[in-house]
Amino acid sequence: MFATPYPGTALFEQALASGRIDRAALHSFVSSLGDARDFVVNLTDAFSDDELKGKRQEMMDEVCSRVKPLDEEEYEGRIKGLFGELAGGHLKDNALMKHRAMHGGIDLF
């Protein structure tokens, strides 16, 4: 996940003040906002965009090397155990299945 400066937050105001968000391209920036899993703007001084994305990937690889992924049936069972019928057809939604494959499984609510 990346810190995402959403409008109305102190982080957004700080990113505007520091010039990390270009006021002239504000509409474009706001239109590009997704969720915190998506890289939108680099808020660090320590890394370039590519370095920051690379560090995130290194961390993800490290975690994945230590954790055994759940198979689909076990995953669905755990989600249903946590959320019951609230999960409904959510687990089979094609767009969300694609999102889970790309970003991981934490997307139920």
Q: Which tens digits make up the pLDDT trace of 91-101?
A: 677 887 787 77
| Residues contacting residue 43 through CB under 8 Å, at least 6 positions apart | 3, 5, 11, 15, 20
Q: Note whether residue 85 is domain-resident.
A: yes
Per-residue pLDDT reduced to its tens digit, 13-35: 999 999 999 989 888 888 888 76
Say if 57 falls within a structural domain: yes
Q: Are residues 22 and 53 in the same domain?
A: yes
Show the domain range for 97. 72-103
Q: How confident is the model at residue 104 (pLDDT cuts 50, 70, 90)?
A: low
107 pLDDT higher than 70: no
Same domain, 54 and 81: no
Answer whether 83's CB lies under 8 Å from 108's CB.
Answer: yes
* Residue 109 falls inside a structural domain: no
Mean of pLDDT over the chain: 83
